[in-house]
């Protein structure tokens, strides 16, 4: 697949230069998830928010400094993206074991896979050899990452701009089988502020009234809700079953079932067949992980994931 720098990614990339690389990531992620199950979701999402902005190049990890404006400030990430301390811990262990060898971008790709496996999802071999960017893109983060109130078409267009299609969109949205969302990410569905004052009719009414208890018309913006209220820390296909019951939390979840025939059929397929969901999820994660990585001598191997090398 297409890379910047002419090289390519392959799972054995660190087999000689850092044979313990994968084990180090797995151990630190396992410890973090044991301490806080939600961390699996947060790490999975970090890789997504990295890959959709100039490719999987660890741009999301950079703090603001000098001419760099951190992507952590963007609308999708502010008060929301988390897991940075876990990546720091992995990187610290990694630098001791094999200095200047393993990229922050690869660490995120491995952590996303391990997070999926640890919560009961599928496994896959992660192609490796990404290098780290020497800059970030706040505008890219604001513009490329889909928002929960985007239309189905807008979301699909944002996926297509990354070389991903409708099958990838539906399978990868299955990530919302784990993790949380804030009230502010779906409030408008509960009160329909723009329309006729009636609640969103693609949302189950008893589920909506439960949600209103902790997500009032005003206040409580940061209150947390499970994206999959049935099994919030288990990576399974219950997210898709929820969509069939009009119990998707985000508008961007429910539209996969209500706004497009092809997408609707995929949702049904994954709701009835977890194995097919797992197979496609693994494929689509590899595809997302291949979004224009830096290879060869492009970019660098950062020593600290939060800042570019001096």
Q: Is 88 exposed, middle or buried (0-12, 13-18, 19+ CB in 10 A)?
A: middle
**Size of interface with ligand HEM, in residues (CB under 6 A):** 26
* Nearest residue to ligand HEM on Cβ basis: 179
Q: Give the SS3 label for residue 86.
A: helix
Residue choice 70, 103, 173, 231 for contact with Ca ion (CB under 5 A): 231
Which one of 122, 127, 129, 179 is in contact with ligand HEM (CB under 6 A)? 179
Q: Closest CB to ligand HEM among 14 and 48?
A: 48
Rule CB under 6 A: is residue 25 a binding residue for ligand HEM? no
Q: Could you say which of ligand HEM, Ca ion, none residue 238 binds, taking C-beta under 5 to 8 angstroms by partner kind?
A: Ca ion
C-alpha triplet 182, 54, 226: angle, nearest 5°: 15
With CB under 5 to 8 Å by kind, the binding choice for 177 among ligand HEM, Ca ion, none is: Ca ion
* Alpha-carbon span 264 to 86, nearest angstrom: 36
Active site residue ranges: 49
* The Cα angle at residue 289 between residues 86 and 74, in degrees rounded to 5: 60
Q: Which of residues 209-268 bind ligand HEM (CB under 6 A)?
A: 227, 250, 252
Q: Which of 236, 240, 242, 278 binds Ca ion (CB under 5 A)?
A: 236
Burial class (CB in 10 A: 0-12, 13-18, 19+), 98: middle
Is 176 a binder of ligand HEM (CB under 6 A)?
Answer: yes
The helix/strand/coil state of 182 is strand
CB 179 within 8 A of CB 197: no
Segment near Ca ion (CB under 5 A); pick from 33-41, 194-202, 235-243, 273-281: 235-243
- The helix (run of H) or strand (run of E) holding residue 180 is strand 180-182
Closer CB to ligand HEM, residue 18 or residue 282? Answer: 282
In the complex, the residues that contact ligand HEM under the rule CB under 6 A are 38, 41-42, 44-45, 48, 80, 82, 146-148, 155, 169, 172-173, 175-176, 178-182, 185, 227, 250, 252
């Amino acid at each position: 697949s297409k890379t910047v720098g002419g090289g390519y990614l392959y799972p054995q990339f660190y087999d000689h230069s850092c044979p313990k690389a994968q084990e180090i990531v797995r151990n630190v992620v396992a410890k973090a998830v044991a301490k806080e199950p939600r961390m699996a979701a947060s790490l999975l999402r970090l890789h997504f928010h990295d890959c959709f902005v100039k490719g999987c190049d660890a741009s999301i990890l950079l703090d603001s400094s000098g001419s760099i404006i951190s992507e952590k400030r963007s609308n999708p990430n502010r008060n929301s993206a988390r897991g940075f301390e876990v990546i720091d811990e992995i990187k610290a262990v990694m630098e001791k074991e094999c200095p200047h060898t393993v990229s922050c971008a690869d660490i995120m790709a491995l952590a996303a896979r391990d997070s999926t496996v640890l919560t009961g999802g599928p496994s896959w071999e992660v192609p490796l050899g990404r290098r780290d960017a020497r800059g970030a893109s706040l505008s890219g983060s604001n513009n490329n990452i889909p928002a929960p109130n985007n239309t189905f078409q807008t979301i699909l267009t944002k996926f297509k701009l990354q070389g991903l299609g409708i099958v990838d969109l539906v399978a990868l949205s299955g990530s919302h089988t784990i993790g949380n969302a804030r009230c502010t990410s779906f409030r408008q569905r509960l009160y329909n502020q723009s329309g006729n004052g009636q609640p969103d009719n693609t949302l189950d009414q008893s589920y909506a009234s439960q949600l209103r208890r902790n997500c009032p018309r005003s206040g409580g913006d940061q209150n947390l809700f499970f994206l999959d209220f049935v099994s919030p820390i288990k990576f399974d296909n219950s997210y898709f079953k929820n969509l069939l019951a009009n119990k998707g939390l985000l508008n961007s979840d429910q539209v996969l079932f209500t706004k497009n025939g092809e997408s609707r059929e995929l949702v049904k397929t994954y709701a009835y067949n977890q194995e097919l969901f797992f197979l496609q999820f693994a494929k689509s994660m590899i595809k997302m992980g291949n979004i224009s990585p830096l290879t060869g001598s492009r970019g660098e191997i950062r020593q600290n994931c939060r800042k570019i090398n001096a």
